[in-house]
Structure 1
Amino acid sequence: MSKKSVGAKKKTRAIDLPLPDHRFMNRELGWLEFNQRVLEQAEDRSVPLLERAKFLAISGSNLDEFVMVRVGGLKLQFDRNAMVRDAAGLTISQQINAVSSRCHEMVARQYDLLRDVLEPLLADADIRRITFDDCSDRAREVADQRFLADVSAVLSPQAITHDRPFPLLQGLGVHLCVRLRAVSSPVKTTDGAPSPAPNAEGESEGSNPAEAWQFAVIPLGKMVPRLLAMPSERGHDYMLLEDLVTHYIEDFFPGREVMECVAFRITRNADVELQEDGAADLVDGMEEVLESRRLSRVVRLEYSAAASDHVIAFLSEKMQLTNQDLYPIDGPLDLSYLFTLHGLEGFDSLRDEAWVPQSHPAIDPAEGMFSTIAKGDLLLVHPYERFDPIIRLIEEASSDPDVLAIKQVLYRTSKRSPIVAALMRAAERGKYVSVIVELKARFDEARNIEWAREMEQAGVQVIYGIRGLKTHAKVCIIVRRESQGIVRYLHFGTGNYNEATAKIYSDVSLLTCNDTLGADATAFFNAVTGASQPQQLQLLAAAPITLRKRILDLIEAETQRCLEGQKAEIVAKFNALVDTQVIDALYRASQAGVRIRLNIRGVCCLVPGVKGLSENIEVISIVDRFLEHARVIYFRHGGDDELFISSADWMPRNLDRRVELFVPVLDPGCRLRLLQTLRTYFKDNTNSWRMLSSGVYERGQPQKKGKEAFQSQRVLYDQAVEMTRKAKQSRRTTFETHEPKQQEQT
């Protein structure tokens, strides 16, 4: 028997090993581990100060969304069936308890960092949060003017009485709860004598504390800026709106005794989904969902840590909250104000150096996009390379007389989207424009409804996706009539058609006019718009029809090659890895000896590094200045490398409940660059976190291992700069003649 056969036999026995019961991490705790990595960027002293403030703000907004969606969802599940267990074996009750404990720890750490570290450092850098105690005479005059001119006329208190319902408060908005001494006639005792006077706490002996106080609420709203710039001799002084209003709180209640004014914020459950079977019209149905979120139950109450028991008891009773839902905050509520500080002018030295997105070397601004793509496929790595070519492509298509049709999926867009504007212009010029607008894109529903209506008015054929599924694929198809016949120009992406987020999200774009991909993309799009069963696709795979099977087949094929003694490798990059069927397939591949390297930015429910199960699996997470968002997958495939980009993470929702695309990268040059990009992340020892089998993440520390620092995002940007430099140098050393324009033959 040959050595190769012996190895194959041994690996065959390895793959037959049973998979243990507890082989999955809890999804919710895994997500909180990701947010912990974001928070630790804010704690990193090597990160510029305002970038640290930004990361703290991101960790706060991330936690807001987590509580709205995931905690809200857990509470709904608890009401339905508290004994259901997740893949990690935890009941709903156990998950709620674990998540609550972890969230409270995280909030305490956030505010320790803000109060004890960042605010003092910001003050040293002349960015100061001040209160009235810190104000100069000039600043007090400005505060008086601001309150009278901009605040008192806008805000209104709302008294809470037994005959009025508690006001409907906006989720995540900052409010003030005001405790007032009750105004009433003296209550006589049974012997006819007046009741005792209130004590220092406002309560009389034997009285009902609830009758000793009256309460009012002042929503601060969004019309008045949260940060108010104040005059200062140097740098930037600011006051928070709640501090300004609290100082003048008695002006809202003339003749009343104000005992306490407490800032608070509520979080409502946002895990409200459309019941499509009962929605006659999808737009109307989505507007009902938005209204339901506005009215949904409160799942978290944040309040100033200085609040009295009276205020805490009042608010928690009105909102029917438990101690788990209460978050005392020792500092300003809502950390999103730090985003505003990050954008202050005049403090460039406290921010990262600007990385200007580069032009792709193969794209000549003087040449049309159709001509450029016709020369060969283009792979763009954002945000190191500009997103402009995708916008240019659609804008050129809107005015090109040879373009017959544009078909596109829009999941999320920007507020003033140039792509949407170009699509409307194309329709107004008589082109056939079909757009799938996903109205169920969470937290972008209102914007997408507005865009959908505007596009319909411009003559765009708007389709609202598929009943029961979210359309999450990123594809644009441009049908153009050329001398050789119809040519379809395509854009496939891993990110949204949003030029704003394309500057801060790490994504990949593929531009091609490949005939087979064009035919597949058209069949896919028409199946979605026609609500029909898609025909067999040659190169693309689409969820929820073929994508899960395609992924499992590719993993199994790599496993079998390894069992046959061939080299086998899987390298993948996602936002999340949750699907248990895919994870089990990866475990079996690892048991067979396949080397598996995973770059998972957020939740990873797979347990790496377990002997006999996953010792061949490595999991890292990159947290750096850009949000890692691309989905890229590589299979060694016996040396005939296969590379794919995708809109889908490996999660049940993406594989089973969304319309997604899985796109092969066919051009050899594009594949080589994509693979090099994918492998670059695994060299990172600066902003890379390695997942341990315990579920804890360990940060790379080059200085302790005597290695040179390697920051993957920095390297990728430097590579893009160098590619652009070489392309410009090549153009300068190449003589190009001006040719007369060819006359069209009649």
Structure 2
Amino acid sequence: MTSSTPEIVEPRYLNRELAWLEFNSRVLDQADDPDMKLLERAKFLAITGSNLDEFVMVRVGSLKLQGSSGTGRRDPAGLTATEQLRAVALRCHRHVKRQYKILLEDIQPRLGERHVTRVDLEQCSDRVEAAAARHFRDDVVAVLSPQALHDRRFPMLPGLGLHLCVELRGVAELAPQNTPKIKRSDEADDDGSEKEFEPQFAVIPLGRTLPRIVPLPIDKHHGDKHPSGAHENSFHYVLLEDLVSHFVSEFFPGREVVQCKPFRITRNADVELREDGAGDLLGGMEEVLESRRLSDVVRLEMDASASDAIRNYLMESFYVDPDYVFQIEGPLDLTYLFGLHAIKGFDSLRDEPWPPQRSPAIDPAEPMFSSIAAGDIMLLHPYETFDPVVRLIEEAATDPDVLAVKQILYRTSRDSPIVAALKRAAERGKYVTAIVELKARFDEARNIEWAREMEQSGVQVIYGIRGLKTHAKVCIIVRREPQGLVRYVHFGTGNYNEVTANLYGDVSILTKDETLGTDATMFFNAVTGASQPQPLQQLAIAPLTLRRTILEMIRGETERSKQGQKAEIVAKLNALVDTEVIESLYEASQAGVKIRLNVRGVCCLRPGIPGLSESIEVVSIVDRFLEHARVFYFRHGGDSMLFISSADWMPRNLDRRVELLVPVLDSAISKRLRESLQMYFRDNQNAWSMQPDGSYKRIVASKKQKPFRVQEALYRKTVENIRQIKQSSRLVFEAHRPGD
């Protein structure tokens, strides 16, 4: 038992935004790991850039709106929006500085040593420059269009796009009369006084149709051998913005180009639909997309070598807070490194492939319905392939005994085979209902397109619930069988996206359990019918019963510990933010409950504080796959309770989204899932231990410990299971009989 008098801790919770930046710093540590393959390090650097883009769009955008409201409201950590914005800006600048130090001083030079070289067109050979010029004139000039800026107002530029700002001189009579004059210190009149000239600017949006990475021929003087002497592929390239900048004068004949520098803006994406005033949700969401396109600029990134004229012009044009102006020494938008990671011929610079394995519980020669009828099936993605889930829905589309398919779609792939299967099922006369969440941030446009296509095919499409996002992952297939109607159900922790299923760690459960099937149908029909759900036997739903269930399970462990029983909570989730859940965990810790939390991203709970949370351990795994599954274990007096869920422990998931908490009923599945959950606390290769102050320390194997990497262990175990099953299959000798 711990001390009954907790220390006074202020604050009791960590700030959510700073906790998220701490997570992105852990991702950046992967890019800074010299033991990792070079192109994998580049990929992690790209991930940190993409992560930061979304964070600034959404979280900084939200803080800007809160700050402008002037309410002075404080977050659970005690900070106002203005204080958070200041702290976030400082942390972001440090983060960006570290990103480019890693890129320019480490990864890029090392890639050059391995003949993946970013070419400087100012210093390349005539042969390479001529090839670059041909590409520019043949493939670029016809696509891009410069726009002169006569009234000091930019055209409506998209957020996160890459653009070039061009400072021009000459043809003064074309300059507008109200353009201010700027003195340049590098020019003087004959009498030594500074000249005045009228600065003129143009912008060249680079768009998204031209590839960012432009391959170039290899300079002969670079050679094509590895330092060891072994032959190796070479890949030389120039970035599109460098190519256009080098030849930019060809866009402005008769003008002198003073300078051409890339810049990038980030717009506020925290634009939500006011559903109380939206009679047509589809039309309302299209207005949201348009509002996001026109929203205020919350961040400006520009080349650090931009002139004072360009820098001042951009800052004044976009009205950006100086704290959120980033002058960057290096290529803007690090997501180009995703493309570099994918170049062919450099397998030695990438991780060994871990192709998803087929589940031994599924016979590829048998229908999915037969496999599920033989017993519940759990799939651990991406170690086990997501194909059975896709196959189940595809088979349902053509099976004459299937009467209905009901499914929730939150995020899907661009060419989703699941959406195609739902359309086929409807076209074949089956009763198909899809809840398409139009409010899934950044997937709104795609989901609107899918919704319209499915409606045209005869699918009954429901656009979620007013005031809530439908985030649950469930598919119900109703099939006529000799014993009557049978419900086959898929529950998951991840989206119905076969592409991200190869990258995200998630759990799928396939079952024909009658109680779960009945609960799932009642839940689904309540959502589509916008009615009050009836009490369910096994499932818990947010925003109605999921929070209560989680709190009851935590408090149950607390009471057992107070009574002298063993009590334990193990949870794996993406984020822990909700203060009511955190307080309940603090109370459980003070009662002596052993609590282990595997939280990938934001954790606002402070672990390890004497008298408050000393029995709480928090670890974070950042590795090849993005840990996405939500799995919760409660000892429950020895009668273990295990759940999977679509919901993190955040207010938005528990109160403002439609989510599911699903008990794991099959004993064999429960045992396997619990074993995998325990493995996450053995990792000593890519695991981080959270400290009471919110910082993280990397967990390092001691001299007595063997290296253990949970993702690798799960993959090797999956492969070994398949191998053993193949070995155990005996060859059956079948004799020919007379007359055969």
- TM-score under structure 2 length normalisation: 0.94
Distance 1:412 1:256 in 2: 49
Instruction: Tell me which amino acid in the other structure corresponds to 1:170.
Output: P
Structure 1 match to 2:167: 179
Instruction: Tell me which amino acid in the other structure corresponds to 1:108.
Output: K
1:667 aligns with 2:666: yes
Distance 1:334 1:642 in 2: 45
Instruction: Summarize deviations over 1:660-715 as a string: whole Å, max 9, x none.
Output: 0000000000000000010000000100000000111000111x544211000000
Structure 1 match to 2:356: 357
1:136 aligns with 2:135: no
Q: RMSD across aligned C-alpha pairs, in angstroms?
A: 2.1
Distance 2:283 2:156 in 1: 22
Distance 2:515 2:679 in 1: 31
Instruction: Tell me which amino acid in the other structure corresponds to 1:146.
Output: H
Instruction: Tell me which amino acid in the other structure corresponds to 2:713.
Output: V
Instruction: Summarize deviations over 1:280-313 as a string: whole Å, max 9, x none.
Output: 2111111111111110000111111101111111
Distance 1:714 1:379 in 2: 19
1:100 aligns with 2:89: yes
Q: How does 1:260-659 map to 2 (within 5 A)?
A: 260-659=259-658
Residue aligned with 1:682, SS: coil
Residue aligned with 1:251, SS: helix
CA shift, 1:384, in A, is 0.3
Structure 2 match to 1:56: 45
Instruction: Summarize deviations over 1:162-186 as a string: whole Å, max 9, x none.
Output: 3x63211111111111111264369
Question: Of the candidates 12, 15, 20, which is equivalent to residue 26 of structure 1?
Answer: 15
Given the superposition, is the C-alpha separation of residues 66 and 736 from structure 1 closer, same or farther in structure 2, using an over 3 Å criterion? farther
Distance 1:629 1:202 in 2: 58
1:71 aligns with 2:60: yes
CA shift, 1:73, in A, is 0.6
Maintained 8 Å contact 1:82/1:92: no
Question: Of the candidates 217, 231, 245, which is equivalent to residue 231 of structure 1?
Answer: 217
Instruction: Tell me which amino acid in the other structure corresponds to 1:516.
Output: T
1:221 aligns with 2:207: yes
Given the superposition, is the C-alpha separation of residues 507 and 734 from structure 1 closer, same or farther in structure 2, using an over 3 Å criterion? farther
Structure 2 match to 1:254: 253
Distance 2:317 2:525 in 1: 51
Instruction: Tell me which amino acid in the other structure corresponds to 2:393.
Output: I
Structure 2 match to 1:4: none
Distance 1:715 1:659 in 2: 34
Distance 2:184 2:519 in 1: 79
Structure 1 match to 2:710: 712
Maintained 8 Å contact 1:203/1:212: no
Instruction: Summarize deviations over 1:86-113 as a string: whole Å, max 9, x none.
Output: 0001111110000000000000000001
Given the superposition, is the C-alpha separation of residues 197 and 421 from structure 1 closer, same or farther in structure 2, using an over 3 Å criterion? closer
Maintained 8 Å contact 1:202/1:212: no
Instruction: Summarize deviations over 1:538-591 as a string: whole Å, max 9, x none.
Output: 100000011110110010111111111110000000000000000000000000
Identical columns (%)? 63
Distance 1:138 1:673 in 2: 61
CA shift, 1:82, in A, is 5.1
Maintained 8 Å contact 1:358/1:721: yes
Residue aligned with 2:172, SS: coil
Distance 1:199 1:716 in 2: 63
Residue aligned with 2:261, SS: strand
Instruction: Summarize deviations over 1:108-163 as a string: whole Å, max 9, x none.
Output: 0000010000010000011000021343333222111111111111111111123x
Q: How does 1:682-721 map to 2 (within 5 A)?
A: 682-702=681-701, 704-721=702-719
Q: How does 1:8-47 map to 2 (within 5 A)?
A: 14=4, 20=9, 22-47=11-36
Given the superposition, is the C-alpha separation of residues 532 and 197 from structure 1 closer, same or farther in structure 2, using an over 3 Å criterion? closer
Distance 2:336 2:459 in 1: 39
Distance 1:342 1:108 in 2: 22
CA shift, 1:737, in A, is 12
Residue aligned with 1:89, SS: coil
Given the superposition, is the C-alpha separation of residues 156 and 561 from structure 1 closer, same or farther in structure 2, using an over 3 Å criterion? same
Instruction: Tell me which amino acid in the other structure corresponds to 1:149.
Output: D
CA shift, 1:256, in A, is 1.3
Structure 2 match to 1:742: none
Instruction: Tell me which amino acid in the other structure corresponds to 1:663.
Output: V
CA shift, 1:46, in A, is 1.0
Instruction: Tell me which amino acid in the other structure corresponds to 2:709.
Output: Q
Distance 2:194 2:293 in 1: 37
Structure 2 match to 1:191: none
Maintained 8 Å contact 2:182/2:198: no
Residue aligned with 1:133, SS: coil
Maintained 8 Å contact 1:470/1:659: yes
CA shift, 1:207, in A, is 8.8
1:86 aligns with 2:75: yes
CA shift, 1:274, in A, is 0.7
Residue aligned with 1:683, SS: coil
Residue aligned with 2:614, SS: coil
Distance 2:395 2:732 in 1: 27
Structure 2 match to 1:3: none
Distance 1:197 1:504 in 2: 52
- TM-score under structure 1 length normalisation: 0.93
Given the superposition, is the C-alpha separation of residues 564 and 199 from structure 1 closer, same or farther in structure 2, using an over 3 Å criterion? closer
Distance 1:621 1:396 in 2: 38
CA shift, 1:640, in A, is 0.6
CA shift, 1:457, in A, is 0.5
CA shift, 1:248, in A, is 1.1
Maintained 8 Å contact 2:267/2:299: yes
Instruction: Tell me which amino acid in the other structure corresponds to 2:658.
Output: V
CA shift, 1:532, in A, is 0.5
Residue aligned with 1:732, SS: coil
Residue aligned with 2:490, SS: strand
Residue aligned with 2:729, SS: helix
Structure 1 gaps, min length 5: 1-9, 188-195, 739-746
Maintained 8 Å contact 2:435/2:528: yes
CA shift, 1:430, in A, is 0.5
Residue aligned with 2:202, SS: strand
Distance 1:197 1:462 in 2: 59
Distance 2:523 2:10 in 1: 38
Between the two proteins, the alignment pairs up a number of residues equal to 716
Instruction: Tell me which amino acid in the other structure corresponds to 1:708.
Output: K
Residue aligned with 2:660, SS: strand
Given the superposition, is the C-alpha separation of residues 612 and 556 from structure 1 closer, same or farther in structure 2, using an over 3 Å criterion? same
1:167 aligns with 2:135: no
Structure 1 match to 2:228: none
Maintained 8 Å contact 1:300/1:326: yes
Instruction: Tell me which amino acid in the other structure corresponds to 1:127.
Output: V
Distance 1:677 1:372 in 2: 23
Distance 2:174 2:167 in 1: 20
